[in-house]
Structure 1
């Protein structure tokens, strides 16, 4: 059961990463659409180019899903098959029931379905007359054909699911500030497992619908806002508060709490805060404390939801194409409402993040950057272990002291083996307090004696050489007597 859950988690994480493909196309499309709108440059051709991306998000999701799950180095064939399959699926729905609207889920299903066909068909054997079509290219033939059957099955399966999702959207919208808080909280909380894109995609690209003046229907909070929907943007404004103000406050707190390497921490925190403010990319900052201090990350998720609730109550409406950053804020200021209120709200959240993070880091001694424990490669051996060391015993018998460097004397090499020459191993000088010979294969803490009595007959010829060599070294280098570290 645990293995099945881990496998499911891995697949969902793969699916989440696949959704980065369409997300990467959003910034340029959003900028083109925004700067070409009527209240800015008024260039219809550029606006059409941007709207094409938003109108074909299902195709982008199909390509992203097939890239994630197709098991091949060269994924051109499954990508072509996925493109053909999503077109076939849309045509199938149009002929069976034109009210079916799967949105981005159509792309996800088709992409996964095409990848499954590819992974199973690329090794199939066919008559030699069809060799050109088999192998990795076989999916281009098979996927569109099987997609017709898939579309027929989905025409019965999807309508109830669509009603359920519509109910979810209506329910979270009716919850008002609480619904926005839940969305913001889960948006951040799912990042460590890579599932936030799965959750975000429905809100961004499917929640609600808006008909543009030219008759084009767009869906999703992000696309509706950029298309000019006066009701969109309430689910997105929180990210400007967190990315432009909150996380830079957290970065300042972590720098102030650093105890060492302050210049290094300052550089890293400054660059991460600027990245978050200018581009809306928060991963460098979030991953700096996500795993070393999960308490801070949980607070960060709570504050994200709280920022959403505050913006909703103040009716701060602002959307983005790439993220909650200063660029999108500047470009989309005219499309939003009460945007000016975001500045005082942001300052409050900057202070809230700063003081909360600083308090928690100092209170619980959280190991954020600059507060890590010193890394010790291996613990020093105890005095008792030194007493049992044959090398140390040999030194004491000759009235010598260990003048070797610590790394050579074995103080930082607990798990190395110590070769005790057979001539000395048979001596009772190396017995412990109980009288048991340590050289008979017994393992002391930090030292493993490498020879047993059963090996004596194999070492007869080497005993005399080792003893003579040890005496020679003792004469020339008294500090080098004793066990040989191997």
Structure 2
């Protein structure tokens, strides 16, 4: 039972990250648009900035629909285009049915001076509905994917063949969506109260809440389940709600982007920002860890270790993708990973305690651009630099002490004569050969059920995990580690995972 639940959570985790990847791009361009509208900019740049901001606002204000389609298409085992179309239509059906029922039963809330704020309802694509925010997209996306995977292969005799396949899934979802839309008029207000209470509890626990959140967010990375922790706080009402320029926004990231879009009138950033500062460790922690690993390597291997560690460090620091660096030492010493998570939690807690209010979700590039429109007096970015400088020293000293004291075999300290550059090859010459090796190591094509990927990992669901051969997977030149969780196998590849996944799918004859 636990294994099955873990599998479901893994699938949901990797599906949710699909739309989040695009959120990073949206935030970057939103910041650029805001900067271009600053008063000292030429008028044509201000106009361009206004257009860019309007485009990005359209995404920010329709995240529920984006998550719905992204999750449905990601969770669909086949016919992903049809699953996406069904998700879009089902989402619209829900809005229409929910609005119609609220109207028929005289439950529509009246619009006040601050719009629908505080009424539990909101406007979505022109429909006034129960305000479920991003949860609506998540629920419908998962619902559509489940029906699609279960019924999209159902076929009928020639006379009724038009109603088979994905159309049958669509037919089933119509009454289901109607019932769901009516039920949510009564169920969601109760859930919303529960969410508000839980959010209030976490928000009022002060520094303890920040510490626990930061620790869990880093410690869960090896399992791939960290998305289930930070996603709700960043994109749903669990992370808090705020009214900005007459509109309500939920979730730390959504609130910050709304503040970014109205930076000229913002005098202080919302307290929900405490859930969007985990980029600190990606910038400062990554530099310190890389320095410690290089310093502790044997002198004759340091240049080789630099060639392996520095590219991963740059990706972690600049773009916020830490997995390539994390997995360099994670599998060697879980203790180092535990200590790393503790230092992360301590850092974020200190930052919040001394008043730093800097948005740091990804890496240095996103951090600098996103915070640029705000005054340093608002973000207190200078505090981030001060704490970062001190914590880099702490990280370095602690890691060096543990590595040497416990003789941890981080890169460059191994007793083998095998070349590290051969063991972890950043630019392999035979990608197709690696794809064949992965398939073989996973028990053969007939043992593979599903192949997906996240930022840095190839995620595969196998039929029989006993057929997985670690010795074969270790021969894959691109892999930087393997995580096994029952039938869910993760092969850590790095930033080239998308291309690698396509090679594996091509070898398996899988088309999307």
Tell whether the structures are fold-level matches, with TM greater than 0.5.
yes
Contact 2:359 2:370 in 1 (8 A): no
Of 69, 92, 95, which aligns to 1:90? 95
Residue 67 (str. 1) matches residue 73 (str. 2) = yes
Residue 142 (str. 1) matches residue 172 (str. 2) = yes
Of 234, 240, 245, which aligns to 1:204? 234
Of 304, 328, 331, which aligns to 1:291? 331
Cα displacement string for residues 205-227 of structure 1 (whole angstroms, at most 9, x for unaligned residues) = 122223332x3322211121122
Cα displacement string for residues 150-171 of structure 1 (whole angstroms, at most 9, x for unaligned residues) = 2223333333322222112111
SS at match of 1:261: helix
- 2:198 aligns to what? 168
Cα displacement string for residues 339-358 of structure 1 (whole angstroms, at most 9, x for unaligned residues) = 11111111111111111111
Residue 261 (str. 1) matches residue 261 (str. 2) = no
**What's the CA shift for 1:236?**
4.8
Contact 1:77 1:137 in 2 (8 A): no
- 2:54 aligns to what? 48
- 2:362 aligns to what? 323
Cα displacement string for residues 378-435 of structure 1 (whole angstroms, at most 9, x for unaligned residues) = xxxxxxxxxxxxxxxxxxxxxxxxxxxxxxxxxxxxxxxxxxxxxxxxxxxxxxxxxx
Of 250, 261, 279, which aligns to 1:219? 250
SS at match of 2:178: helix
Contact 2:293 2:411 in 1 (8 A): yes
Of 2, 7, 11, which aligns to 1:5? 2
**What's the CA shift for 1:237?**
6.0
Q: Tell me the matched-pair count.
A: 370
Of 16, 33, 38, which aligns to 1:36? 33
Equivalent-residue separation in structure 1 for 2:284 and 2:70 (angstroms) = 32
- 1:356 aligns to what? 398
- The TM-score normalised by the length of structure 2 is 0.68
Question: What are structure 2's unaligned runs of at least 5 residues?
Answer: 109-119, 121-129, 260-265, 419-512
Equivalent-residue separation in structure 2 for 1:233 and 1:296 (angstroms) = 30
- 1:111 aligns to what? 141
Residue 22 (str. 1) matches residue 27 (str. 2) = no
* Equivalence map 1:340-355=2 (5 Å): 340-355=382-397
SS at match of 2:346: helix
SS at match of 1:227: helix
- The TM-score normalised by the length of structure 1 is 0.71
SS at match of 1:365: coil
Equivalent-residue separation in structure 1 for 2:369 and 2:187 (angstroms) = 43
- Assess, with a 3 A threshold, how the Cα gap between structure 1 residues 92 and 181 changes in structure 2: closer, same or farther: farther
Equivalent-residue separation in structure 2 for 1:350 and 1:116 (angstroms) = 46
**What's the CA shift for 1:233?**
6.0
- Assess, with a 3 A threshold, how the Cα gap between structure 1 residues 241 and 120 changes in structure 2: closer, same or farther: closer
Q: Give me the CA root mean square deviation.
A: 2.3
- 2:223 aligns to what? 193
Of 45, 56, 64, which aligns to 1:58? 64
**What's the CA shift for 1:373?**
4.6
SS at match of 1:372: coil
Equivalent-residue separation in structure 1 for 2:32 and 2:11 (angstroms) = 34
Equivalent-residue separation in structure 2 for 1:372 and 1:25 (angstroms) = 40
SS at match of 1:36: helix
Residue 313 (str. 1) matches residue 353 (str. 2) = yes
Contact 1:280 1:325 in 2 (8 A): yes
